Amino acid sequence: MTTAGDIMHRGAQWIPRHETLDRAAQLMRELDVGALPISDENERLCGILTDRDIVVGCVAMGHDPSRVTAGDMAKGTPRWIDSGADVDEVLREMQGHQIRRLPVIENKRLVGMISEADLATHLTDDQLAGWVESVYAKG
């Protein structure tokens, strides 16, 4: 059985909810990623911040990214998957919520992230086609 832990990108890092968006952008550049999970004071997932969130939700709205925090941008219920979950569960979670990145948690700690690139590397062509169709479908 292939698990979330088998296909995830290891080394994902949190951005604390109190951290500013300019610092988040710097961390994204350093890590060469387009999204960061947002953690609360107890290192629990409280959202995900994307590079698009920073540009569209902050800069394009005329806000100062040195004054807006990652927590200010956290919206909705964050989705995640346990590292031991089967790849079919990963696909159901991502497809069901039309999400492109999924934090992987083990023993209540962030251990990785699953992105489109990870799926493309580890899924069959049929699995990948089904995922693309459901996640990118206009609904």
DSSP code string of 65-115: TTTSBHHHH--SPPP-EETTSBHHHHHHHHHHTT-S-EEEEETTEEEEEE-
CATH 3.10.580.10 matches 4-137: yes
Query: pTM higher than 0.95 for the full model?
Result: no
Token digits of residue 1: 């059985």
Predicted pLDDT of residue 75: 80
pLDDT of residue 43: 84
Residue pLDDT tens, the chain, 139 long? 889 999 999 988 999 999 999 999 999 999 999 999 999 998 889 999 999 999 999 999 999 999 999 999 988 788 999 999 999 999 999 999 988 999 999 998 899 999 988 998 988 888 888 888 888 876 5
At 137 the pLDDT is 73
